[in-house]
Amino acid sequence: STVNKRFNKTAFQAAVNKYLVTKLATLPEQADAHAWRLAMEYALAETTTMNLLATEQDPKIKNARSVNYLSLEFLIGRLTGNNLISMGLYEEVTVAMAEFGQNLTDLLEEERDPALGNGGLGRLAACFMDSLAAEEYPAVGYGLHYEYGLFKQSFNDGRQQEAPDVWRDETGYPWEVIRPELAQKVGFYGKVEEYTDNDGLNQRRWLPGLQVEGMAWDLPIVGYNNNSVYPLRLWECRALAPFSLERFDEGNYVAAQASHIQAGNLTKVLYPNDNHDKGKELRLMQQYFHCACSVADILRRHQAAGHSILDLAKLESIQLNDTHPTIAIPELLRILLDEHHLSWDDAWAISSKTFAYTNHTLLPEALETWGEQLMTTLLPRHMEIIFDINLRLMGEVAHKWPGDIEKLRKLSIIQEGDERRVRMANLCVASTYAVNGVAAMHTELVKRDLFPEFNELFPGRLHNVTNGVTPRRWLKFCNPKLSALISSKIGTGWIKDLGQLQKLEKFADDSQFQMDFMCVKKANKQRLTDWVAENMGLTINPDAIFDVQIKRLHEYKRQHLNLLHILSLYHRLINDADFKMQPRVFIFASKAAPGYELAKEIIFAINKVAEKINNDPRIGDTLKVVFIPDYRVSLAEIIIPAADVSEQISTAGKEASGTGNMKMALNGALTVGTMDGANVEIREEVGDDNIFIFGLNVDEVQALQAKGYNPYDYYNSDQLLRTSLDLLAGDEFTPGQPGLLNATRHSLLAGGDPYLVLADFADYVQAQGRIDKQYGDQKSWAKMAILNTARNGKFSSDRSIRDYANNIWQLNAVSR
């Protein structure tokens, strides 16, 4: 079918005018940029909402197999610019708004990011929705409608401050549409009752003690250059009004109101933890609320389309984005068993062929477990079902390894101990038809280190699907100059088929193309330079190397290794008259989980070091350190196109994949990185000559830790390391207040340096030296940068989604 791209400018302008008046109560003569932007978005949303409904109603979609992507996080970023690109209306709307005297670029800058996610996992979910719609695989994304997204970050004397993130305007968010007819009820607490049904069979049912309402909000996910618009359905928790008292013991009115208030708060705020499980009751309530609403909605759609419940696994796949939505499994089983009265075997046959699970981390502290007590109190029937699943699992294990208690202990969903706990990852592996890691090396480690026994018990269940990023947002939209240059050489096919970028390879040695490519990079660096000047009052030199580390703050990501290298440069610039280096600007942007003390200390240390270096007259332009506050998608869109060097320096074996590494390489940055996550595959694609690999590999890391790692061995024998680290001990960066930066230093010495920063320091400094030298040869740098853009086509999320569709979901595209 053809795409209806006919754009009626007059009608569009009339709609904008209408919304200015009817929705924003203002007039064209009085409206500010904010009002113009909202009116424009409401006008555009007329089309996306219509197409959302048309897609939903299309019998081809209703009868097609589809995927349901369940995630507690969707870090979608600003929608307007991206939607304009997908709708093919960017130029047209630029003109239409210009005739109102409004500059589209400025209007787009007005939009706040919906930050409904923490980092990699949430952003991946957003890229996947974009690719599902672009590839037209029938899909629904299910998430939560948090009132506050990830906190807003600012610095006070270098220390992170958190403030609530209000992403919705008082007048509403133009792109979303409320769907009251899809509202669901969700229970909590209460008890399980046994009863005899009309056929004389024993049945069980859950009588919740508290009920809340799940209200559905749909955001349109607009397919690039096609007619498909899929919903990202976000559930908002509301207290049921009038709240029913019958379920409360003694009908305690005040207690009922307390619950009423609590219930209203369920989706108030996104938990800001990344890779750390805190096991809070409210978080489990959010997870169950999300799962109950989503599973009920999937069943509603399935049945409304006239399909039998017995055919659920034939038509629906449910992908669990990490273990956060695991409770959807016992929820579906509960409905099949207690409401549809299927036998266990029939219910299990459906549920175990419907769910698939993606693992995003090997870090033990990130693997979720929930105490039996809490589970039993909050979700008594689900806890029973989990025990039933485990009983059968233990039977299978005992059958496979007779008499092997150790295997039972390791594979059990229930972790024994002072308090029994439910291991959500074990529950997932035992109850899904496919489990996948997110990069080749990560998947190998899942098989080898995390689930070796499960891999034996369920051969073929473990898959790899290497992550990817959407080329629409992360190249076409964020880097218009590079996009235009690429398209001038190879046409526009790359936007939907990123592998076509390899056609650029033949221009890698072309002097003119090298100059054009570097010219674009320079312009992007100038754009970031201007942004930094305007927003931070800092002057940086766009001719310097822009060296970028942007990601959540975590010890395993080793921002402090980067800091140590900066300290070593500072030391040498001041103390070694012979030391010369290319001017470099080190750019950080990163949020620390509010409860992660050391991460916040590392931010403080970087900020304090930056303050001193940036104002040291001996250093001048040669070395600058910029920590940009409030890292978010819209900031990444400015930083990534400006990066020369991409810092991907995690301890080998700790970063499951990384996706920022892909975004920066795609935009022509050279990676300095360890053999970790998707860095391994980026190296495979670009070739060893076009990437700077350093440090211990995963086997060396494990061997060193097995033999007993002692950071002092490195501290005592490497003078540059010792000098650099000791700079943090005095008051060099905190005049008059010695020791203020000790926490970071301490963690690397007496603290045992759990992520082997000191072990990798020397090799890292060497790799950085090679970068410095290489940048001196601009022609060969240009060639390397071009080859990075040309050879990163594999890392399109379109390819990831096709891998899921072909190898896990068994989905066919449906074009409309």
**Interface residue list for ligand 26W (CB under 6 A):** 118-121, 124, 273-277, 322, 360-361, 366, 368, 438, 467, 655-659, 677
Q: Rounded CA gap, 380 and 428, in Å? A: 19
Give the nearest distance from C-beta 439 to ligand 26W in angstroms: 7
Give the nearest distance from C-beta 11 to ligand 26W in angstroms: 41
Is residue 659 part of the annotated active site? The answer reads yes
Classify 630 in phi/psi space as left (phi over 0), alpha (psi -120 to 50) or beta.
Answer: left
CA-closest candidate to residue 428, choices 309, 551, 321:
321
Residue 464 or 492 with smaller CB distance to ligand 26W: 464
Q: Rounded CA gap, 313 and 431, in Å? A: 13
Give the nearest distance from C-beta 326 to ligand 26W in angstroms: 11
Give the nearest distance from C-beta 673 to ligand 26W in angstroms: 12
Give the nearest distance from C-beta 463 to ligand 26W in angstroms: 14
DSSP conformation class of 472: I
- Which H or E element spans position 134? helix 120-135
**CA dihedral sign of residues 356, 360, 363, 366:** negative
Query: 411 with 452: CB under 8 angstroms?
Result: no
Query: Exactly one of 442, 557, 591, 632 is catalytic; which is it?
Result: 557
Query: 299 with 331: CB under 8 angstroms?
Result: no
Place of tokens 């039996």: 372
Residue 113 or 297 with smaller CB distance to ligand 26W: 113
Query: 109 with 78: CB under 8 angstroms?
Result: no
Query: Exactly one of 381, 558, 663, 791 is catalytic; which is it?
Result: 663
Query: Exactly one of 55, 659, 674, 734 is catalytic; which is it?
Result: 659
Give the nearest distance from C-beta 662 to ligand 26W in angstroms: 9
* Residue 17, amino acid: N
Q: Rounded CA gap, 575 and 683, in Å? A: 36
- Chain CA centroid to CA 494, Å: 24
Radius of gyration of the chain (CA): 27
Residue 462 or 626 with smaller CB distance to ligand 26W: 462
Query: Exactly one of 145, 473, 552, 591 is catalytic; which is it?
Result: 552
CA-closest candidate to residue 329, choices 416, 180, 435, 233:
435
- Which H or E element spans position 236? strand 229-239
Is residue 489 part of the annotated active site? The answer reads no
Give the nearest distance from C-beta 290 to ligand 26W in angstroms: 14
Reading the block at residue 355, the tokens are 């769910």
Reading the block at residue 611, the tokens are 């303050």
Query: 506 with 513: CB under 8 angstroms?
Result: no
Q: How many CB atoms lie within 10 A of CB 17?
A: 16
Residue 657 or 789 with smaller CB distance to ligand 26W: 657
Q: Rounded CA gap, 430 and 395, in Å? A: 12
Residue 330 or 658 with smaller CB distance to ligand 26W: 658
| CA geometry: angle 636, 639, 641, nearest 5 deg | 105
Residue 275 or 792 with smaller CB distance to ligand 26W: 275
Is residue 557 part of the annotated active site? The answer reads yes
Is residue 360 part of the annotated active site? The answer reads yes
- For 240-279, b/e burial (b = at least 16 CB within 10 A) is eeebeeebbeeeeeeebeebbebbbebbebbbbbbbbbee
Give the nearest distance from C-beta 121 to ligand 26W in angstroms: 3
Identify the bridge partners of residue 684 per DSSP, sorted by sequence position: none
Place of tokens 């700790």: 654
Query: Exactly one of 78, 476, 551, 624 is catalytic; which is it?
Result: 551
Give the nearest distance from C-beta 366 to ligand 26W in angstroms: 4
Residue 296 or 438 with smaller CB distance to ligand 26W: 438
Query: 263 with 158: CB under 8 angstroms?
Result: no
Q: Report the residue number whose CB is nearest to ligand 26W.
A: 120
Residue 622 or 659 with smaller CB distance to ligand 26W: 659
Residue 656 or 680 with smaller CB distance to ligand 26W: 656
Q: Rounded CA gap, 425 and 376, in Å? A: 19
DSSP conformation class of 369: E
Write the DSSP string, 675-686. Answer: S-TTHHHHHHHH
Residue 547 or 655 with smaller CB distance to ligand 26W: 655
**CA torsion angle 20 26 28 33 (round to 10):** -80
| CA geometry: angle 767, 690, 628, nearest 5 deg | 65
SS3 263: helix
Give the nearest distance from C-beta 467 to ligand 26W in angstroms: 5
| CA geometry: angle 642, 90, 816, nearest 5 deg | 115
Residue 276 or 746 with smaller CB distance to ligand 26W: 276
Is residue 551 part of the annotated active site? The answer reads yes
Q: Catalogue the active-site residues.
A: 360, 551-552, 557, 659, 663
